[in-house]
Structure 1
């Protein structure tokens, strides 16, 4: 986890401080190489983080509690960070300037490193072989061993589909350009995004529908401009919708641990690292399309050479692009999640059966 975090921090610093100084012909190739290395660091950290949850606890009652606590703390942190960008950095620098991103990336690096240290401290006492599956030293795995897991483990199949489609929706709607279109251009006040983030610490498809109707038939510029109909509807629907989305996000890591235990129960093999990397690879592969989706839609709205900024005028095309990306894509992701969870084989009773089975296998071993 620590090695992956340091590698990501180093690459982020290079990207934001030096790539723009390169000759034009080298900027894109160098960026692609650096980003590929960044993904290696990302995978090193997240795969270990996900597999480490298996060692922390296998109590079917404790894992959901972990997800709850993780979700609340993550939401608090992200809400604060979302306030930091539109209400502090943008007013400080006047726009999305290079200086703004330099300060933003240094803040992110420092905060990420601190949180990684907390993660290391948290798992330190459980990072021992007696907490590994059936109490052995682990299983030697080969690359070919991934295919049976992907093919036979229905739990990880459905979880990957649910999580990756959710993540596409979250990444698209949370993309800085999309947030800028919605709040700076449609609402007319970019600082509102920070105010709203502060209120959404505590959603469903049905809550997005009244928001779409509000933006299409209402007066978006009235949002957060005193106590009025638009403000009340927006705050209620946004808070409930955001809360529901965060609930689904907070269950992912405990569910990966459940999938790893399911594999141990099903095959007798303790392979949480493989489970974490399978999830991370497919999740990252699918969700990486989020930026491409945003770029393509914005280009179709007329912004082919540069992304919209707070100084641009709102066009009809940009309005509908904002509605599609901010509301429509997340709704499609939630529908895919509902369908995939219909076929997810693990529930509370099944997890009690699995843990009993693993205890029996461990005792026999």
Structure 2
């Protein structure tokens, strides 16, 4: 009697990882995010230290991010084609981290050059930085596919990453606003020297830990169908992009979320909110300290929902809560005046602001973490319908839309501020409060994010990889791996409606059915 594979998810043989492997590999995202944090201050480096024009720099950095997005698919192909004795992912991770570190060192050196050549070299360094960043960041998405395919384990990555990301961004804001800025007298040359060198060292340590985490699973037997994985030519990539509906829907939806997340994290907007609207920039560090635990709890809650209800359900729920929080935050920003937010003598305004800001910012950003894992689901979906393993390319498609969307964050901020008279330089902590700056803050923190997140939520109506569907996909991959030859693999991939079957008998599939279709 032939061995049959029960349709129930518990009968699928999963590739599971040890907890410490997930823990360490998840730090790769923190390793790249710390560069993202540092780059939120580059606008001040370019204008205050290098003497470049604020509006021009904001547009330039936006266009460079768009360029970065378009080179990402090439990086994806590079990852998919990489096959060395050191694995697929580890060499790319190391290369990306080294290139990104070099770009910051080169940027520090621009202040010693003539002003006439600073702009073109600044552009070149931005491009180098984006290439290195994309190489390492893509591994975060691509490597998860090989690390584990257990739907109960994958959200653990989001839990750890949520904690690490929250600690990273809030901790850095506390240290920068409370220690570095006062000690260096603002965003000076010495400030950026300490910031960049610290970022390079911390990122390198986190990258090494991530390499240890992926070491065992960076092996061909964990890539797709193993030896039965279908070869992919360059012309096949367009077929995948064109035909993979979940990839198209989620990549665009996630891009909208990333855009909003970039707005909230931009250093200029932080200065406008705390330094001008509330009149005390040090509040940004103090609030960040208080927001560490709530931020972690929001991310843990989203990941726990994903473990119980599936990633799609958690993604949609987080968007809904985020929009609700931002609508509530609008009330407090309209009432805001310098001195109203106080952490020394708590009042109803401070409590209300704290609650709505936590929900609005962290719930609306939670889907960005979930997407890192949902990309692995889409890679498995592609394997189940074509037999191909394209973790690199699929990961970089997200980077493409992510880069294009996030590129609009500094551009939008630049245009809004230029509209109220800040076209040559950005507002600083010394800038006086005004109604125009207050309305600009509300537009950037409430109006634009709510509209954008609503579009993201609408798109998720067309994303069908819910918990039940992913169980069917993993079962199908399990059956494909059990097939004896590649023809049977493709027959299973193309012809078997598993959603209508209780059992799958591998030897009953007919290759001639595949040929006819």
Q: TM-score, normalised by structure 1?
A: 0.95
Provide the rounded CA distance (Å) in 2 between the counterparts of 1:215 and 1:84. Answer: 26
Partner residue of 2:347 out of 228, 234, 246: 228
- After superposition, residues 250-261 of structure 1 pair within 5 angstroms as 250-261=369-380
Partner residue of 2:384 out of 253, 265, 282: 265
Cα offset, 1:249, TM superposition: 2.1
Listed one character per residue, the Cα deviations across residues 268-316 of structure 1 (whole Å, up to 9, x for unaligned) are 1111111112221221122212111111112112111111111111222
Runs of 4 or more, structure 1, over 6 Å off, are: none
Cα offset, 1:177, TM superposition: 0.6
Instruction: Please tell me whether the aligned partners of residues 172 and 329 of structure 1 are also in contact (alpha carbons under 8 angstroms).
Output: no
Cα offset, 1:139, TM superposition: 5.2
Instruction: Please tell me whether the aligned partners of residues 96 and 136 of structure 2 are also in contact (alpha carbons under 8 angstroms).
Output: yes
Provide the rounded CA distance (Å) in 1 between the counterparts of 2:480 and 2:367. Answer: 32
The residue that corresponds to 2:96 in the other structure is 4
The residue that corresponds to 2:327 in the other structure is 209
Distance 1:128 1:189, change over 3 A: same
RMSD across aligned positions (CA):
1.7
Does 1:296 find its partner at 2:415?
yes
Instruction: Please tell me whether the aligned partners of residues 208 and 241 of structure 1 are also in contact (alpha carbons under 8 angstroms).
Output: yes
SS in structure 2 at match of 1:242: helix
Does 1:319 find its partner at 2:464?
no
The residue that corresponds to 2:197 in the other structure is 106
Partner residue of 1:345 out of 456, 461, 464: 464
Q: TM-score, normalised by structure 2?
A: 0.68
Pair member with larger Rg: 2
Q: Which moved more, 1:100-109 or 1:345-354?
A: 100-109
Instruction: Please tell me whether the aligned partners of residues 231 and 388 of structure 2 are also in contact (alpha carbons under 8 angstroms).
Output: no
Partner residue of 1:92 out of 176, 180, 183: 183
Cα offset, 1:140, TM superposition: 4.6
The residue that corresponds to 2:246 in the other structure is 155
Listed one character per residue, the Cα deviations across residues 166-196 of structure 1 (whole Å, up to 9, x for unaligned) are 1111111211011001100011111111121
Instruction: Please tell me whether the aligned partners of residues 95 and 136 of structure 2 are also in contact (alpha carbons under 8 angstroms).
Output: yes
The residue that corresponds to 1:278 in the other structure is 397
Instruction: Please tell me whether the aligned partners of residues 71 and 246 of structure 1 are also in contact (alpha carbons under 8 angstroms).
Output: no
Provide the rounded CA distance (Å) in 1 between the counterparts of 2:346 and 2:361. Answer: 21
Provide the rounded CA distance (Å) in 2 between the counterparts of 1:306 and 1:143. Answer: 45
Does 1:335 find its partner at 2:454?
yes
The residue that corresponds to 2:277 in the other structure is 186
Cα offset, 1:9, TM superposition: 0.8
Listed one character per residue, the Cα deviations across residues 25-44 of structure 1 (whole Å, up to 9, x for unaligned) are 32221111111111111111
Instruction: Please tell me whether the aligned partners of residues 204 and 245 of structure 1 are also in contact (alpha carbons under 8 angstroms).
Output: yes
> Gaps (5+ residues) in structure 2?
1-92, 295-320, 486-517
User: How many residue pairs get matched?
Assistant: 364
Listed one character per residue, the Cα deviations across residues 188-219 of structure 1 (whole Å, up to 9, x for unaligned) are 11111112112223242122123222121344
> Gaps (5+ residues) in structure 1?
none
Provide the rounded CA distance (Å) in 2 between the counterparts of 1:136 and 1:12. Answer: 41
Provide the rounded CA distance (Å) in 1 between the counterparts of 2:281 and 2:410. Answer: 21
Provide the rounded CA distance (Å) in 2 between the counterparts of 1:279 and 1:143. Answer: 18
Provide the rounded CA distance (Å) in 2 between the counterparts of 1:71 and 1:137. Answer: 35
The residue that corresponds to 1:24 in the other structure is 115
Instruction: Please tell me whether the aligned partners of residues 4 and 42 of structure 1 are also in contact (alpha carbons under 8 angstroms).
Output: yes
Cα offset, 1:220, TM superposition: 5.0
Provide the rounded CA distance (Å) in 2 between the counterparts of 1:39 and 1:76. Answer: 24
Instruction: Please tell me whether the aligned partners of residues 200 and 242 of structure 1 are also in contact (alpha carbons under 8 angstroms).
Output: no
Instruction: Please tell me whether the aligned partners of residues 47 and 273 of structure 1 are also in contact (alpha carbons under 8 angstroms).
Output: yes
Provide the rounded CA distance (Å) in 2 between the counterparts of 1:134 and 1:178. Answer: 47
Listed one character per residue, the Cα deviations across residues 67-91 of structure 1 (whole Å, up to 9, x for unaligned) are 2222122222222112112111122
Distance 1:170 1:153, change over 3 A: same
Provide the rounded CA distance (Å) in 2 between the counterparts of 1:23 and 1:155. Answer: 50
Listed one character per residue, the Cα deviations across residues 101-128 of structure 1 (whole Å, up to 9, x for unaligned) are 2211112111111111111111001011
Does 1:135 find its partner at 2:226?
yes
Q: Which moved more, 1:18-27 or 1:174-183?
A: 18-27
Instruction: Please tell me whether the aligned partners of residues 47 and 276 of structure 1 are also in contact (alpha carbons under 8 angstroms).
Output: yes
